[in-house]
Structures are given as structure tokens and as C-alpha cells.
């Protein structure tokens, strides 16, 4: 059941993690940006870990009557969990997520909200974007790989400014670091996603250099999204292709060894190729069996899985005297 309020249209969720700016200055900027849109609004700050100073800084605004809710998590769970915790208490028909540091100019909030007239989820693309050639190379490589595996041309998944209709988060559950891929997951679910050019904040000084571990995490995230987008309901196609390929390579190698032994008298003892070919055959069978088990699980739960959204419905009510056609108001849009 929807928890939307007729008097509250926009819920702004700000997850506060390790990296965060002066909350007083940040809230003042965000409040100015959202107030300029003339929407009714509320702010939800989710403290991902111990950030008592943030709550202390916001208390004067609460005393002045600002619609601010502060959620303090028991420990650090990650930004995706913080966003979902904020959504649980959000009451607006439109959900806006904003970073806890200066990343975009406040006017960009209005641009995101305006884009919802044409889509279901709008994400920011900071333009012009600061950064050196190494940062540009990293961004283009990441988004290029993502475009290959998902088919979507995105340019700035690192931007934490997003606006979406409530139905998007009602249909999608994010965890781990999947909040970065919200437009990709929404696209897969049948929502229409759009990137909006917004100006980068002059206070955004992050140089974009990460530790090697972070780059490895991003590659694993791309693989995760690839599997979720392409094979969530068709696991046999993924594991089956791997299994068949592995089994074929092992079978060809094993056949060669058997033929060499039977017709040419070559010994099989002390030949690593025999062990390798046998392992490939067994591994191929196991991968194929894993795909079959996945298909059985999907088949068992297929009735409870909804991976589409209805664009509109036209009902016809005919009689001998007249035929009336009534178009039901669109509740969700299909990706085009």
C-alpha cells in the first residue's frame, strides 16, 4: 500500500557516510534548491554510522519547524542500505536522493524534478565535469564497459543526485553498492530512465583517485549488473553456455589423448593434459547442473516475480446502444 501524502510531494533522502560536508551549509543549499521548485518537501537524513555532530547541526532547523527526519543506523551498513532505510520512512510521491557533500549546484534539483515529466527516474550528469585526463579515462572506461554489458549509454553513475517516482523504489531493492546502478536496474524493470545535464558544484574537489581495491570492486559490480540484467530469469543460459564451452574443450582434449594412446601408443602416465581435460569435463557438467538448478528455482517462484511495468490500459465497454472507450491513467511507463 502506498504511503504517499496529499500534502507532501517530494521526499529528499540524504545518506550521510564517511564523506560528508558541513551539514548546515549543505542543508541550506539543498533547501534553497528544492524550495525554488514550489513543491512541498521533507528531508530525511540517514546517518550511516555514528555521526552525532550531524544530528546536532540539524537540530536548530528542526526547532524552527523544518520537515526534517534523522535516522541513525546502529553501525555502518553502506549507502544502498541507508537509502532504503530512508525510503521506508519517506511519504512523498517523488523521491530525491542527494549526496551528503557538495557535488551539484542546487539549481540542478529543479532540473531533475522537471525531467520526471518525461521519465520515471532522472539521474544527474555533471557538466562541465572537473577532473584531469586520468579521471576522464577512468570514467569513460567504466561507462564504456557498462554500456557493452547493459546496452545503456550512461555517463555519470557516480552522481548521487537522482529523482524518481515512488513506484521505482517500490519495485526495486538495492543492496551492496547497487545504488550506483539504479537507472540500469530501473530500466531492466520496465521504467524509463534519463540522464540530465546539471552543473557540478564548485566545491566538489574530489580528485577521483581510488585505491586498487575500489577498481576491483567496480569491475565486480559491472559483472553483477551484467548477470542481473541479462540472466536473472534465465540462469541456464549463463551457466549453460559456460558449462557447454568448458565441457567441449575438455572433451576435445580428452578425445585427443585417448586417440593418441589407442592408435599411436603414446603413454598417458605423467601427462598433466589428462588431469586438465578430466577436470574441464567435470567442471562443465557441474556448471550445466548449476544452471538447471537455477532454472528450477526460477520456475518455482516465477509466479511471484514481476519484471514488467504497465504503460496504459484501454478498456472497452460495449453495448447495443453505444460503445465507450476509457483510457486508464498511466501509472508506470515502459522503457523505449
pLDDT at 228 > cutoff 70: yes
pLDDT at 251 > cutoff 60: yes
What was the pLDDT predicted at 329?
40
| pLDDT higher at 284 or 173 | 284
| pLDDT higher at 25 or 215 | 25
pLDDT at 208 > cutoff 70: no
| pLDDT higher at 188 or 251 | 251
DSSP class per residue in 208-257:
----HHHHHHHHHHHHHHHHHHHHSS-HHHHHHHHHHHHHHHHHHHHHHH
Edge-first strand order for the sheet with 121-126 is: 68-72, 41-47, 10-16, 94-97, 162-165, 121-126, 193-198
| 159-179 average pLDDT score | 88
- What CATH number belongs to 10-231? 3.90.550.10
What was the pLDDT predicted at 34?
93
What was the pLDDT predicted at 102?
92
What was the pLDDT predicted at 245?
92
What are 239-249's pLDDT values in tens digits? Answer: 888 889 999 99
What was the pLDDT predicted at 333?
39
What was the pLDDT predicted at 330?
42
| pLDDT higher at 6 or 211 | 211
Q: State the maximum Cα–Cα separation within the chain, in Å, rounded to a whole number.
A: 92
Every domain of the chain and the residues it spans: 10-231, 235-304
pLDDT at 327 > cutoff 70: no
CA atoms within 13 A on the CB side of 34: 27
What was the pLDDT predicted at 66?
92
Average pLDDT across the chain, whole number: 83
Amino acid at each position: 500500500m502506498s504511503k504517499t501524502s496529499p500534502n507532501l510531494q517530494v521526499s529528499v533522502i540524504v545518506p550521510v557516510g564517511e564523506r560528508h560536508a558541513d551539514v548546515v551549509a549543505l542543508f541550506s543549499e539543498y533547501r534553497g534548491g528544492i524550495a525554488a521548485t514550489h513543491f512541498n518537501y521533507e528531508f530525511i537524513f540517514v546517518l550511516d554510522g555514528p555521526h552525532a555532530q550531524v544530528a546536532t547541526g540539524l537540530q536548530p532547523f528542526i526547532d524552527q519547524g523544518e520537515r526534517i527526519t534523522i535516522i541513525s543506523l546502529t553501525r555502518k551498513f553502506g549507502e544502498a542500505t541507508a537509502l532504503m532505510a530512508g525510503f521506508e520512512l519517506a511519504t512523498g510521491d517523488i523521491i530525491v536522493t542527494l549526496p551528503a557533500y557538495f557535488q551539484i549546484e542546487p539549481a540542478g534539483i529543479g532540473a531533475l524534478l522537471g525531467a520526471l515529466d518525461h521519465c520515471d527516474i532522472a539521474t544527474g550528469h555533471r557538466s562541465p565535469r572537473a577532473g584531469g585526463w586520468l579521471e576522464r579515462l577512468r570514467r569513460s572506461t567504466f561507462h564504456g564497459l557498462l554500456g557493452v554489458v547493459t546496452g545503456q549509454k550512461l555517463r555519470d553513475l557516480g552522481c548521487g543526485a537522482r529523482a524518481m517516482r515512488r513506484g521505482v523504489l517500490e519495485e526495486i531493492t538495492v543492496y551492496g553498492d547497487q545504488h550506483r546502478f539504479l537507472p540500469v536496474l530501473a530500466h531492466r524493470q520496465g521504467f524509463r530512465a534519463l540522464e540530465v545535464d546539471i552543473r557540478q558544484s564548485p566545491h566538489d574537489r574530489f580528485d577521483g583517485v581510488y585505491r586498487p581495491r575500489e577498481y576491483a570492486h567496480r569491475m565486480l559490480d559491472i559483472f553483477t549488473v551484467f548477470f542481473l540484467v541479462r540472466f536473472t530469469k534465465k540462469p541456464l543460459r549463463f551457466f549453460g553456455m559456460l558449462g557447454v564451452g568448458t565441457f567441449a574443450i575438455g572433451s576435445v582434449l580428452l578425445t585427443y589423448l585417448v586417440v593418441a594412446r589407442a592408435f599411436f601408443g603414446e603413454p598417458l602416465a605423467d601427462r598433466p593434459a589428462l588431469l586438465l581435460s578430466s577436470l574441464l569435463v567435470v567442471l562443465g557438467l557441474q556448471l550445466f547442473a548449476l544452471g538447471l538448478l537455477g532454472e528450477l528455482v526460477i520456475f518455482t517462484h516465477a509466479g511471484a516475480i514481476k519484471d514488467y511495468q504497465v504503460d496504459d490500459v484501454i478498456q472497452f465497454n460495449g453495448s447495443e446502444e453505444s460503445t465507450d472507450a476509457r483510457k486508464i491513467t498511466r501509472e508506470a511507463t515502459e522503457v523505449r
